[in-house]
């Protein structure tokens, strides 16, 4: 029994207001014009160098993420509620991180099981007791949302470490504005191009107390072989900061320095796009060549700020996810504005039993997995796949969680024959520093295959420009 | 700027210049091979060319006998040969990609395009590709990229490092080409001044795109001393050692001014310039052309090391 | 007891290296068991960072050498007043929740033999307290791994050592940590110095042991290699998940080459306290 999917443009065949002007736009567009525009878009992306390598595939490193020209649109009112919910969540996640690396009140109060936090691989004992500047651990919180009805939004997962994809949000808009300027004259689309300025301001606001000048902010990348290198270089360029690799930095005394043609320059804030494990071979993985030896000592003595803070990953674990509504109530004393997807913890015997009995209806995910790998979409899988997955689940239940198969909303998407509904999700990027900021927009990912619910770019998903229509 | 960025720019242009030199060497070898087979034959000349690139052993290991087609492939397409045109263009493009944001769109497009064209050439039937087409393409590409740099890049420190890379590599290459001709290429001293010798000198000048320029400057009469003067001491010829050294000094002085700091690199460059500006061609031959060129190659490499220590490592305070 | 320490570690490189960065965990932190009277770390040619205290209460210091170097020498000198607290770590300021030490690493991952050892030991003690179980496990580990100098190296894991059936203090500590985890007890690796074994025979003075967390008591040291709990002959430097994590020196050499390591440690007890 397949649920009825909410179509964001045509609700029970009625055109929804935010899409008002788009109906005429696509209907009047001749097929050949569309093909020209699609080619033009691809050309623009390739020219900008926006490519994406998929992990473990070894394919074309210059592959483009498919871009769908049909925008996804929110009203100002819809967005207001999302914004409040997202900011609320970002505050609670940071409060949680501050707490579990300090006194752990939420655990003492019995609201979250201690082992879920302290035995978690992402809980870094190296930073226990350390309070980063302003108490902020996760400076860029990417919250993955799905929609199932006009007013039903669910949080699918939180990304507290280094959520990627924001370059697509910015470039998708650039490309749309170049290709269809009149659409932006007809619609009052809220701009997203302030993101880089806000990000820079956010990063500068968490400079160490010791820093008594205009903070020197850098972006630390694993290097140009990384699949997200384009994004790193793009963001660094937009912010006007140096894009550095581990080898460009070194530690001496109580500070971290950057190698420049004018000699060593002190660095105050590092926006890192590498994992904790690789940050410092003297503290974490000794074989890491991507990090900066000695960096964690400088960090812990307040000589440099690392964004996101090492250890922030403990808040976005899929097992911790279940407790985020609890965090909101505990730290903020508020009711959660955005709901979680109901989740079964296969580590619990009762939950496991339910999941095993209903596996064909559920989405089962690895606790530490990401990118749409290691997951089963029950209703879309054949019998053999389900059986193979069930065996893996039985062997190691605590490695899995399960969720109902959500009736993900659809948005019109260009296909061979014209337009057709395709499932979408949304990732907005919330910035947390001295202030909490959110640009009006985000990355909409779309499952291009008919009927598919998997939107990950590594699994054949594409992207769309995401509009928030400003109020009249 | 970030030392690594400067290093990428510096190496980007070094590889670009190197690819051009390899193409010129290929052209030199090709023209020499058109000579009638006398006194050692073309095999020796090709081996001399490979020797000048320090690649003779690598070549024989991979291909065995010195067959012209193989040598052409080795010098142009072979990615196992680090100084093949293909290797150098790929390395230059890789360096450019890393510092994409430090380049103008025109420069990036020119480099990226050369890479794509190279790949297209690689897909073509080898028998349809003659050496002149390959070398023409290389020289045209080199000029296009250099032109894009000159006409669009900001005159900031990055521009200086690009030009230092060009000048340093060019000096090295001119010295090596001349050295190949004089020291290695001649099968025996008996050929000096012979018709064969003259033909080879001409070819060398052609390979440096200096044939007509030489005629204008020296009135057409070929002499070892005049050619050596042209390639080493003539400030009008853009590939002469002296011209390269003047370039090096200009860009290093610029860096010293904007960084408000003079380093041993400026001193080393000034010393080199001091000698080249004062030298007479007789002094060069007194020392021995090969000896002189070897020394210059050494000093040039020393200056490169000095630039690296002072700017590209980022520790010099 | 007053213990004096002179600890020199010298790395000599086959070819000059481009630079060295080390994180030194070589300063004893104050607790009821130990009080530092004087202490110094010298690394000629290096810039030293300000000492900092991490969440586990250890004192860390960074040493950086930027110049090309053929060797680096770390000299630690100091005097510590120690008190026998029957192995219990009290008055040590730390922030890491004990339960975080229920996590294993590749070096403390148990194998079948370790699981069997724990089963055999604990099944004989159905009603034992946590402390009694910890003692029993420590005794079982010393039994299972006869102390055999040179039998293992710095990369040996608990499972490797168990398979080999012998080891040094590092292996005893790591196997005991694996055992404690299986028994549901938080456990960690401790590095430090030992003046002499209890029977007074001289001993390799750099030492390691395990700490097991006992509810109500706190962290308690177990030196399975010497079949005892740390007393006033011990100086505690720092802790971690395993030997690598708790190493007194974690370093990285730029443009690394073959290195020769030379370590000398002298520990001596001062017979009398000096009168003021």
Question: Residue C26, SS3?
Answer: strand
- pLDDT of B34 > 80? The answer is no
More confident call, A458 vs C186? C186
Phi/psi-derived region of residue C45, left when phi > 0, alpha when psi is between -120 and 50, beta in every other case: left
Contact indicator for A366, A303 with CB cutoff of 8 Å: no
Q: Residue range C128-147: average pLDDT?
A: 95
Residue B316 to residue A247, Cβ atoms within 8 A: no
Average confidence score pLDDT of chain A:
91
User: Which chain C residues are Cβ-neighbours of A125 within 8 angstroms?
Assistant: 55-56, 96, 100-101, 241
User: Which chain A residues are Cβ-neighbours of B315 within 8 angstroms?
Assistant: 259, 263-264
More confident call, A50 vs A234? A234
Q: What is the pLDDT of residues B167-212, one digit of tens each?
A: 999 999 999 888 877 665 555 555 555 565 677 777 778 878 888 8
Alpha carbons B89 and B101: distance in angstroms, whole number: 19
Interface of A with C (CB under 8 A): 101-102, 104, 114-115, 118-119, 121, 123, 125-130, 250-254, 281-283, 286, 293-294, 296-298, 300-301
More confident call, A437 vs A470? A437
Percent of chain B at pLDDT > 70 equals: 91
| Nearest CB to C66; choose among A252, A254, A281 | A252
Q: Residue range A17-37: average pLDDT?
A: 90
Alpha carbons A146 and A363: distance in angstroms, whole number: 14
Percent of chain C at pLDDT > 90 equals: 80
Report the pLDDT value the prediction gives residue B180, as an integer from 0 to 100: 76
Contact indicator for A432, A139 with CB cutoff of 8 Å: yes
Which helix (H) or strand (E) is B277 found in, with range? helix B264-278
Report the pLDDT value the prediction gives residue A50, as an integer from 0 to 100: 63
Q: Residue range C46-73: average pLDDT?
A: 95
Q: Among residues A103, A104, A18, A29, which one has the least CA distance to residue A69?
A: A29
Q: Among residues B110, B232, B217, which one has the least CA distance to residue B170?
A: B232
| Nearest CB to A242; choose among B2, B157, B261 | B2
Q: Residue range A215-242: average pLDDT?
A: 91
User: Which chain B residues are Cβ-neighbours of A236 within 8 angstroms?
Assistant: 101
Alpha carbons A121 and A118: distance in angstroms, whole number: 8
Report the pLDDT value the prediction gives residue C203, as an integer from 0 to 100: 57
Q: Residue range C28-43: average pLDDT?
A: 97
Report the pLDDT value the prediction gives residue B4, as an integer from 0 to 100: 95
Residue C187 main-chain phi, psi, to 5 deg: -150, 150
**Is residue A261 within 8 angstroms of chain B, CB to CB?**
yes
Tokens of A402: 């399960």
For the C98-240 domain, the top CATH level (class) is alpha beta
Report the pLDDT value the prediction gives residue B226, as an integer from 0 to 100: 87
Report the pLDDT value the prediction gives residue C257, as an integer from 0 to 100: 72
User: Which chain A residues are Cβ-neighbours of B314 within 8 angstroms?
Assistant: 248, 258-261, 263-264
User: Which chain A residues are Cβ-neighbours of C239 within 8 angstroms?
Assistant: none
What 3 state SS string does chain A have?
Answer: CCCCCCECCEECCEECHHHHHHHHHHHCCCHHHHHHHHHHHHHHHHHHCCCCCCCCCCCCCCCCCCEEEEEEEEEHHHHHHHHHHHHHHHHHHHHHHHHHCCCCHHHHCCCCCHHHHHCCCCCCHHHCCCCCHHHCCCCEEEEEEEECCCCCEEEEEEECCCCCCHHHHHHHHHHHHHHCHHHHHHCCECCCCCHHHHHHHHHHHCCCCCCCCCCCEEEECCCCCCCCHHHHHHHHHHHCCEEECHHHEEEECCEEEEEECCEEEEECEEEECCCHHHHCCCCCCCCCCCCCCCHHHHHHCCCCEEECCCCHHHHCCHHHHCCHHHHHHHHHCCCCCCEECCCEECCCHHHHHHHHHHHHHEEEEECCCCCCCCEEEHHHCCHHHHHHHHHHHHHCHHHEEEEECCCCCEEEEEECCEEEEEEEEEECEEEECCCEEECCCCEEEEECCCCCCCCCHHHCEEEEEEEEECCC
Average confidence score pLDDT of chain C:
92
User: Which of A216-230, A271-285, B56-70, B175-189 is predicted with the least confidence, judged by mean pLDDT?
Assistant: B175-189
Q: What is the pLDDT of residues B101-118, one digit of tens each?
A: 889 989 999 999 999 999
Alpha carbons B34 and B47: distance in angstroms, whole number: 15
Encode A238-272: b = buried (16+ Cβ within 10 Å), e = exposed. Answer: bbebbbbbbbbbbbbbbbbbbbbbbbbebbbbbbb
Report the pLDDT value the prediction gives residue B179, as an integer from 0 to 100: 83
Chain position carrying tokens 């605590």: A398
Size of interface A-C (CB pairs under 8 A): 96
Taking CA–CA distances from B96, the nearest residue in chain A reads A224
Report the pLDDT value the prediction gives residue C199, as an integer from 0 to 100: 54
Confidence of residue B148 (pLDDT cuts 50, 70, 90): very high
Taking CA–CA distances from C55, the nearest residue in chain A reads A128
Report the pLDDT value the prediction gives residue A99, as an integer from 0 to 100: 98
Alpha carbons A307 and A295: distance in angstroms, whole number: 13
Residue C62 to residue A298, Cβ atoms within 8 A: yes
Confidence of residue B279 (pLDDT cuts 50, 70, 90): very high
Interface of C with A (CB under 8 A): 19, 21-23, 47-50, 52, 54-56, 60-62, 64, 66, 94-97, 99-103, 241, 244, 250-252
- Residue of A108, A127, A129 for testing the chain C interface, max C β-carbons within 10 Å: A129
Instruction: Give whole-number Cα distances, A389 to A264, A317, A402, A456, B98, in Å.
Output: 53, 21, 12, 20, 41
State the first-to-last Cα distance of chain B, in angstroms, to the nearest integer: 14
Confidence of residue B315 (pLDDT cuts 50, 70, 90): confident
Confidence of residue B69 (pLDDT cuts 50, 70, 90): confident
Taking CA–CA distances from B103, the nearest residue in chain A reads A237
Nearest chain A Cα distance for residue B91, angstroms: 13
Q: Residue range B125-137: average pLDDT?
A: 89
Encode C137-173: b = buried (16+ Cβ within 10 Å), e = exposed. Answer: bbebbbebbebeeebbeeebbbbbbbeeebbbbbbbb
More confident call, B52 vs A427? A427
Alpha carbons A196 and A178: distance in angstroms, whole number: 20
- pLDDT of A379 > 50? The answer is yes
Average confidence score pLDDT of chain B:
88
User: Which of A311-325, C121-135, C251-265 is predicted with the least confidence, judged by mean pLDDT?
Assistant: C251-265
Domain regions of chain A by residue span: 10-341+406-469, 344-404
- pLDDT of A183 > 50? The answer is yes
Alpha carbons A328 and A112: distance in angstroms, whole number: 12
Report the pLDDT value the prediction gives residue C275, as an integer from 0 to 100: 47
Report the pLDDT value the prediction gives residue B188, as an integer from 0 to 100: 52
Q: Among residues B94, B107, B230, B239, which one has the least CA distance to residue B168?
A: B239
Confidence of residue A58 (pLDDT cuts 50, 70, 90): very low
Residue A128 to residue C103, Cβ atoms within 8 A: no
Alpha carbons A294 and A280: distance in angstroms, whole number: 6
Nearest chain C Cα distance for residue A106, angstroms: 13
Alpha carbons A348 and A398: distance in angstroms, whole number: 8
Going across the sheet that includes A269-272, the strands are A242-244, A217-220, A269-272, A305-307
Report the pLDDT value the prediction gives residue A2, as an integer from 0 to 100: 44
Q: What is the pLDDT of residues A67-112, one digit of tens each?
A: 999 999 999 999 999 999 999 999 999 999 999 999 999 999 999 9
Contact indicator for C189, C222 with CB cutoff of 8 Å: no
ipTM of predicted assembly, 2 dp: 0.93
Residue C23 to residue A129, Cβ atoms within 8 A: no
Handedness of CA C207, C213, C219, C223 (dihedral sign): negative
- pLDDT of B310 > 70? The answer is yes
Alpha carbons B189 and A231: distance in angstroms, whole number: 61
For the C2-82+249-270 domain, the top CATH level (class) is mainly beta
Alpha carbons B148 and B167: distance in angstroms, whole number: 17
Query: What does the DSSP 8-state code read for residue B169?
Result: H
Chains sharing 3 or more CB pairs under 8 A with chain A: B, C
Residue A261 to residue B259, Cβ atoms within 8 A: yes
**Is residue B122 within 8 angstroms of chain A, CB to CB?**
no
Nearest chain C Cα distance for residue A313, angstroms: 15
Q: Residue range B21-47: average pLDDT?
A: 72
Percent of chain B at pLDDT > 90 equals: 56
Domain regions of chain B by residue span: 1-152, 154-317
Query: What does the DSSP 8-state code read for residue C272?
Result: S
Residue B3 to residue A260, Cβ atoms within 8 A: yes
Chain position carrying tokens 């069997």: C116
- pLDDT of C200 > 70? The answer is no
- pLDDT of C78 > 90? The answer is yes
Q: Residue range C208-215: average pLDDT?
A: 97
Q: Among residues C134, C162, C155, C161, which one has the least CA distance to residue C224?
A: C134
**Is residue B255 within 8 angstroms of chain A, CB to CB?**
yes
Confidence of residue A202 (pLDDT cuts 50, 70, 90): very high
Size of interface A-B (CB pairs under 8 A): 53
Report the pLDDT value the prediction gives residue B196, as an integer from 0 to 100: 58
Residue B157 to residue A259, Cβ atoms within 8 A: no
Report the pLDDT value the prediction gives residue A54, as an integer from 0 to 100: 44
Tokens of B117: 């064209």
CATH topology classification for A344-404? Dna Ligase; domain 1 (3.30.1490)
Confidence of residue C276 (pLDDT cuts 50, 70, 90): very low
Q: Residue range C229-242: average pLDDT?
A: 96
């Amino acid at each position: 029994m397949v649920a009825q999917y909410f179509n964001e443009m045509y609700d029970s065949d009625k055109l929804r207001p935010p899409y008002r002007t788009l109906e005429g736009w696509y209907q009047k567009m001749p097929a050949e014009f569309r093909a020209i525009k699609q080619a033009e878009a691809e050309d623009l992306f390739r020219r900008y160098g926006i490519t994406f390598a998929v992990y473990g595939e070894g394919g074309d490193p210059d592959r483009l993420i498919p871009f769908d020209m049909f925008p996804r649109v929110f009203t100002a009112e819809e967005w207001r509620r999302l914004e409040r919910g997202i900011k609320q969540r970002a505050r609670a996640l940071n409060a949680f991180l501050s707490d579990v690396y300090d006194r752990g009140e939420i655990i003492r109060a019995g609201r979250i099981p201690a082992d879920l936090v302290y035995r978690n691989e992402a809980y870094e004992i190296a930073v226990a007791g350390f309070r980063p500047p302003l108490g902020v651990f996760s400076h860029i919180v990417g919250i993955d949302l799905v929609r199932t009805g006009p007013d039903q939004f669910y949080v699918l997962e939180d990304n507290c470490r280094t959520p990627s994809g924001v370059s697509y949000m910015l470039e998708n808009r650039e490309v749309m504005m170049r290709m269809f300027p009149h659409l932006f004259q007809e619609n009052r689309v809220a701009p997203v191009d302030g993101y880089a300025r806000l990000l820079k301001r956010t990063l500068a606001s968490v400079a160490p107390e010791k820093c008594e000048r205009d903070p020197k902010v850098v972006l630390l990348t694993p290097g140009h072989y990384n699949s997200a290198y384009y994004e790193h270089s793009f963001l660094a360029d937009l912010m006007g900061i140096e894009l550095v690799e581990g080898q460009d930095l070194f530690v001496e005394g109580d500070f971290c320095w950057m190698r420049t043609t004018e000699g060593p320059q002190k660095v105050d804030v590092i926006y890192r796009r590498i994992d904790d494990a690789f940050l410092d071979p003297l503290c974490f993985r000794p074989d890491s060549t991507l990090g900066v030896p000695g960096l964690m000592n400088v960090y812990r003595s307040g000589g440099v700020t690392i964004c996101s803070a090492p250890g922030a990953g403990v808040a976005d674990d899929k097992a911790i996810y279940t407790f985020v509504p609890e965090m909101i109530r505990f730290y903020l004393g508020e009711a959660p504005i955005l709901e979680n997807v109901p989740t079964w913890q296969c580590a619990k015997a009762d939950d496991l039993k339910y999941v095993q009995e209903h596996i064909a209806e559920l989405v089962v995910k690895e606790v530490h997995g990401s990118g749409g790998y290691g997951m089963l979409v029950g209703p879309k899988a054949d019998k053999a796949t389900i059986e193979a997955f069930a065996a893996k689940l039985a062997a190691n239940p605590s490695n899995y969680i399960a969720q109902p198969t959500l009736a993900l909303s659809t948005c019109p998407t260009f296909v061979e024959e014209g337009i057709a509904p395709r499932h979408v999700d949304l990732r907005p990027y919330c910035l947390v520093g001295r202030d909490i900021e959110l640009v009006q927009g985000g990355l909409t990912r779309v499952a291009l295959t008919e009927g598919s619910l998997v939107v990950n770019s590594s699994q054949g998903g594409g992207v769309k420009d995401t509009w928030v229509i400003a109020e009249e | 700027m970030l030392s690594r960025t400067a290093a990428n720019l510096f190496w980007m242009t070094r590889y670009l210049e190197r690819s051009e030199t390899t193409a010129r060497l290929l052209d030199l070898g090709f023209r020499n091979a058109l000579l009638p087979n006398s006194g050692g034959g073309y095999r020796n000349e090709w081996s001399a060319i490979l020797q000048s690139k320090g690649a003779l052993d690598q070549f024989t290991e991979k291909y065995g006998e010195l067959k012209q087609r193989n040598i052409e492939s080795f010098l142009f397409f072979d990615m196992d040969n680090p100084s093949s045109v293909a290797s150098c263009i790929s390395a230059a493009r890789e360096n450019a990609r890393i510092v994409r944001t430090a380049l103008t769109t025109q420069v990036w497009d020119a480099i990226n395009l050369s890479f794509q064209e190279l790949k297209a050439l690689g897909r073509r039937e080898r028998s349809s590709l003659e050496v002149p087409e390959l070398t023409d393409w290389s020289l045209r590409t080199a000029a296009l990229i250099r032109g894009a740099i000159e006409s669009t890049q900001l005159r900031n420190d990055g521009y200086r490092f690009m030009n230092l890379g060009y000048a340093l590599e060019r000096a090295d290459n001119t010295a090596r080409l001349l050295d190949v001709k004089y020291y290695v290429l001649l099968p025996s001293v008996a050929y000096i001044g012979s018709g064969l010798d003259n033909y080879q000198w001409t070819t060398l000048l052609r390979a440096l795109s200096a044939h007509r320029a030489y005629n204008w400057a020296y009135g057409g009469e070929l002499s070892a001393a005049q050619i050596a003067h042209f390639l080493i001491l003539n400030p009008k010829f853009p590939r002469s050692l002296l011209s390269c050294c003047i370039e090096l000094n200009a860009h290093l002085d610029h860096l010293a001014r904007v960084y408000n700091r003079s380093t041993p690199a400026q001193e080393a460059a000034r010393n080199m310039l001091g000698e080249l500006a004062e030298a007479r061609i007789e002094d060069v031959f007194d020392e021995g052309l090969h000896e002189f060129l070897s020394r210059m190659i050494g000093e040039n490499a020393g200056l490169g090391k000095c630039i690296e220590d002072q700017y590209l490592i980022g520790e010099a305070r | 007891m007053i213990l004096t320490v002179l600890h020199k570690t010298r790395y000599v490189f086959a070819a000059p290296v481009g630079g060295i960065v080390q994180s030194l965990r070589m300063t004893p932190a104050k607790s009821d068991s130990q009080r530092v009277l004087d202490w110094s770390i010298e690394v000629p040619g290096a810039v030293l960072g300000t000492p900092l205290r991490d969440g586990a209460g250890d004192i860390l210091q960074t040493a950086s050498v930027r110049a090309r170097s053929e060797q680096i020498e770390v000299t630690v000198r100091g005097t510590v007043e120690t008190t026998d607290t029957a192995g219990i770590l009290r008055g040590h300021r730390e922030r890491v929740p004990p339960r975080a030490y229920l996590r294993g690493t590749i070096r403390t991952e148990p194998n079948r033999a370790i699981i069997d050892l724990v089963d055999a030991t604990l099944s004989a003690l159905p009603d034992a307290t946590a402390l009694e179980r910890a003692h029993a496990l420590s005794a079982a580990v010393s039994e299972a791994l006869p102390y055999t100098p040179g039998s293992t190296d710095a990369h040996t894991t608990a499972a490797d050592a168990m398979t080999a059936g012998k080891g040094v203090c590092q292996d005893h500590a790591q196997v005991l940590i694996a055992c404690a985890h299986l028994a549901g007890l938080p456990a960690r690796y401790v590095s430090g110095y030992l003046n002499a074994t209890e029977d007074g025979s001289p001993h390799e003075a750099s030492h390691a042991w395990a700490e097991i967390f006992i509810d109500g008591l706190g962290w308690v040291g177990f030196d399975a290699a010497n079949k005892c709990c740390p007393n006033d002959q011990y100086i505690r430097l720092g802790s971690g998940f395993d030997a690598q994590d708790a190493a007194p020196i974690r370093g990285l050499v730029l443009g690394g080459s073959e290195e020769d390591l030379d370590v000398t440690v002298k520990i001596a007890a001062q017979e009398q306290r000096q009168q003021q």
